[in-house]
Every structure is written in C-alpha cells, then in structure tokens.
Amino acid sequence: MKKIVIICLAAALTGCGIYKPYTRPEVTTAGLYGTAESADTATIGNVRWQEMFTDPQLQTLILLGLENNTDLQSAHWRVKEAEATLKSARLAYLPSFNFAPQGSISSFDNRNTAKTYTLPLAASWEIDIFNGLTNAKRKSRALYAQSKEYEQAVQTQLIAGVANLYYTLLMLDSQYEVSLQTAAKWRESVRTMKALKEAGMTTEAGVAQYEANYLSIEASLHDLEYQIRQVENSLCTLLGEAPHTIVRGRLEGQQLPDDLTVGVPLQMLTNRPDVRAAEYSLMQAYYSTASARSGLYPKITLSGTLGWTNNSGAGIVNPGKLLLNAAASLVQPIFNAGANRARVKIAKAQQEEAKLSFQQTLLNAGAEVNDALTQTQSARAKTELRRSQIAALERAVESTELLMRHGSSTYLEVLTAQQSLLSAQLSQIADRFDEIQGVINLYQALGGGRDLEEEANQPTR
C-alpha cells in the first residue's frame, strides 16, 4: 500500500494538467462589426420575439412552428440524451454493486450428492485520484450545455425562418396586386389603341405592341401565383403541417423596430447560441485531452465481496457461513503507454481544431451582423428616392398618353414610361421587403429569438 501511495504522489506532481478546469482562450472582438461598431450595450437581440413581431397572424404561425417543427423536436430529444449522459457521468463516482448467486450439485461414483451455493454481493469503487471521472463528468456537462445551445440555435433559426417566409408572402401579394392593377390598365389601353387605330390615329403595330405587353403582364400573374404557392408550401413544411393556404396580413402597415441597436461585439459570446455551442464544443475537446492524459496514470480500484456460502473447503458445511473479502488494485499502463500518449496527441490536435472553429464562428457572426445592418440601412436609404421616382414616372405616363392622343408622341414612348413605372413599383415593394428581411436577419444575427427564461439556468463552466 505504501508503494501505491508513493506512485500516486509522483504521478500527481507530473500530471497537473489533468486538474485544471477549462478557461476561455483569448479572443479579439474589437472591430467585429466593422463600421457598425457601437459602445451601447443595448441590443435588439435581447428583445422577445413577441415584441419584435407584432403581426397577430405571424405570431400564431411562430407558435405553431415552436410546437410542431420536427427539427426543434429533434433538438429537444438531443438535450434529453445529453442530460442522461451527464447523469451517468455523475453516477460513476459511486461504487458499483453486483449480485451474482451461484450454485452447483455434484456426485462422484454414486456417492452422496454434494450441494454448494454462494450468495455474494460484490462491490467495486474506482478512486478518482487523477481526475479521470471528473474530466468525463465535465465533458458530459459541456455536451449537455452544447445540446441546449443547439436547441436555442434551432429555435432562433426557426423563428427567423417563419418570419422571412411570412414577409415573402406579403411581398408577393403586393407585387401580385400591383401587377393585377397594371394588367387592368393595360387592358383598357389596348381598347384605347384599337379605337385610335379605327380613327386612323395609330397603326396596327402600335396595337400589337400594346397587346403583347398586356399579355406579358397577364403571364407574370401566373408566375407570381406559382411563387406564392411555393412559399406557402415551404412555410407549411416548416410548421410541420400539410400544404394549405396561409392566413396573412398585408405588407403595408407592418411595423418593425426603427432603432437597430447592435450592442457591443463582446455580447456575441453570451447572446449567440451557435457561438456558445462552438465554445462548449471547445470545452469538450479540452476535457477530452485532460481525460486522455489521465490514461497515462495509474487507476486505483477498491473491491470487495460480502455474502453467504457453504463452499469454502472442509471448514464450512451446511448451513453456510458468512463470506467476506476486500482488495485494492492499482493498474499502471506500461506496454500500452505509447498508445495512450498517441491518444493525448490526437485529443490535443482536436482541441486546436475546436479552438479555430470557435474563433471562425465568432468572425462569421460578426460578418452576419454587419451584412444585415448594411442591408437594412441600404433599403431604408432608397425609400424616399423610390417614392420620388414613382411620382416622376406617373407624371411621365400621364404626359406621354396625353401627347399621343394629340399626335405629338409615339406609342413607344408611352410603353416605355408604363414599363418603367411598373418596374419601379415592383422595386419599391422589393425594397420594403429587403428592409424587413434585413431587420429579421439582424435580429437573428444578434441572438434574438432565444428563450430568455433559460439564460439563468445555463450549466456552469
């Protein structure tokens, strides 16, 4: 026993690395948002999704998605699996007990039959001197935390995905309405051109050109109907439902926050579920390395048996006597030490890979914030310009139509003005959608949509 203690003390002096808990590596967050850098700690990522998306129909759809989406349900079961793994790692500290009764009947040369039995209760307990069990428990805790963050990331992505598809439908509805109104106007223009032709004020070429453009608009309506159906089907799939018509509002009047506060980049480490999941993955790799190092040192196991038997030589006869034994064992790797050292190298390399992945995830998150903010700001900057453009084109259409009726303008000028007006109207709708989509993407990029009530229940590092 004295030799065992000496070996353990010597190993402990050289194995300090297996005891240190995980600490976050140095990460640089300065300039992570690029030109969007801010000193304000407020961020729209901390706004509850019910306050972010106030459209009643959209809120109903999001609630359906949170209840029925299969990806989110799978993430929930992954959390349950990790929770069971953590519980198993915690129970590894306790001794294991096994009850293995045995019995036999024997007879030799037709003599008296000998009946023997043993009713042992065996116990085994590994003493965690070199943190093998502790590192396994810490790794399991990190796995559990990572699974929780994965669930949060799926929820965030689901909320943003439902919102994006919903507003896509509103955009297509608006474009369909504008195209339908334009088609009605052009249908009337075709009648006008035919009347002018009968009056000798225009040619068959002008009538044919107007009719062709009108038919083109009618065809585009069918394209929009097809796109609407596709988006509805995609949204239904996301909600875990069979395809059906989505009840929705209108693009006009949709309200999203005007103040796009992004906070400080350091908040990425606590707000973004995917960033936190990447760090928990790094934490698992760290404890895997520590666990591999633990394999280089001895394992001490205490074992014993307590029971009842009548099979212990001539000293014990029926009825049986009490059976008791205890032992301690130390296992020090010798011939497989090279393989264990190789496992340490592999685990260390995987830890470095996880560290790089964590750093890259953080960089990608910063780029997403900058992209989303730029998208929103660009769309908002075009709002007034697009409004002025449409007003100018409406005047141009009115003027060219009037001039053509008086014979001082050609039908081509009128067609050009009408086509430009339709294009500008559709672009205005697309700009509004870009603005909304930018806000949604920014909300997601800042970690919005997560379950804020879960923040206080995160596992400790």
Q: 185 pLDDT exceeds 80?
A: yes
> Average pLDDT in the 56-83 region?
91
Would the pLDDT of 73 be above 70? yes
Q: Give 359-371 pLDDT, tens digit per residue.
A: 999 889 888 888 9
pLDDT in the model for residue 291: 82
378, 368, 369, 391: which is closest to 430 by C-alpha?
378
Q: Is the pLDDT of residue 128 over 60?
A: yes
Stretch 132-136: mean pLDDT: 79
pLDDT at 189: 83
Residue 63 confidence (pLDDT):
94
Q: Provide the pLDDT for residue 81.
A: 87
Asked if the model's pLDDT at residue 14 lies above 50, the reply is: no
Dihedral over Cα of 171, 177, 180, 185: its sign = negative
Of residues 437 and 204, which shows the higher confidence score?
437
> Of residues 7 and 363, which shows the higher confidence score?
363
Rounded to an integer, the average pLDDT of 71-94 is 82
Tokens, residue 420:
């430009």
Residue 302 corresponds to which tokens in the numbers above?
């205490």
Confidence of residue 333 (pLDDT cuts 50, 70, 90): low
pLDDT of residue 337: 65
At residue 150, the 3 state secondary structure works out as helix
Lowest mean pLDDT among 108-112, 137-141, 449-453: 108-112
**Cross-strand partners of 411:** none
Q: Is the pLDDT of residue 397 over 60?
A: yes
The three-class DSSP label of residue 110 is coil
**Structural tokens at position 212:** 């062709």
- The Cα-based distances of 239 to 25, 61, 152, 235, 236 in angstroms read 39, 7, 17, 6, 5
In 3D space, the residue among 55, 234, 156, 27 whose CA is nearest the CA of residue 442 turns out to be: 156
Region of poorest pLDDT, from 175-189, 269-283, 440-454: 440-454
Give residue 247's identity as a one-letter amino acid code: V
Q: What does the CA dihedral 69, 75, 77, 79 come to, rounded to 10 degrees?
A: -150
Q: Tokens 């693009």 label which residue?
A: 251
The answer to whether residue 4 scores a pLDDT higher than 70 is: no
pLDDT for the residue numbered 225: 96
Higher-confidence residue: 440 or 297?
440
CA distance linking residue 218 with residue 201, whole number of Å = 27
pLDDT at 9: 46
| 455 pLDDT above the threshold of 70 | no
Radius of gyration of the chain (CA): 37
**What is the rounded average pLDDT of the residues 419-429?**
92
Confidence check: pLDDT of 443 > 80: yes
Q: Using an 8 Å Cβ cutoff, are 273 and 152 in contact?
A: yes
High-pLDDT (> 90) share of the chain, %: 33
Question: What pLDDT was estimated at residue 247?
Answer: 94
Mean per-residue pLDDT of the chain: 81
Q: Give the confidence band of 386 by pLDDT, cuts at 50, 70, 90.
A: very high
Q: What is the largest CA-CA distance in the chain?
A: 134
Residue 191 CA: distances (Å) to CA of 23, 210, 297, 298, 419? 77, 10, 94, 96, 18
Kindly report, residue by residue over 226-246, the tens digit of the pLDDT.
999 999 999 999 999 999 999
Q: Which tens digit of pLDDT belongs to each residue from 293-320?
A: 877 777 777 776 766 676 654 444 555 6
In single-letter form, the type of residue at position 131 comes to N
The answer for residues whose C-beta is within 8 angstroms of residue 225's C-beta and 6 or more apart is 176
Residue pointed to by tokens 């009605």: 184
- Residue 416 is which amino acid? T
For residue 383, give Cα distances in angstroms to 51, 167, 238, 294, 380: 25, 18, 31, 63, 5
Spell out the domains of the chain, with CATH numbers in brackets.
2-102+116-457 (1.20.1600.10)
- What is the β-pairing status of strands 114-127 and 299-309? antiparallel
Q: How confident is the model at residue 290 (pLDDT cuts 50, 70, 90)?
A: confident
Q: Which of 208-217, 331-340, 351-360 has the lowest mean pLDDT?
A: 331-340
- H/E run at residue 8: helix 2-14
User: Out of 241-255, 273-287, 440-454, which region has the weakest mean confidence (pLDDT)?
Assistant: 440-454
CA distance 289 to 142: 14
The number of residues in the chain equals 461
pLDDT for the residue numbered 219: 94
116 versus 274: the higher-pLDDT residue is 274
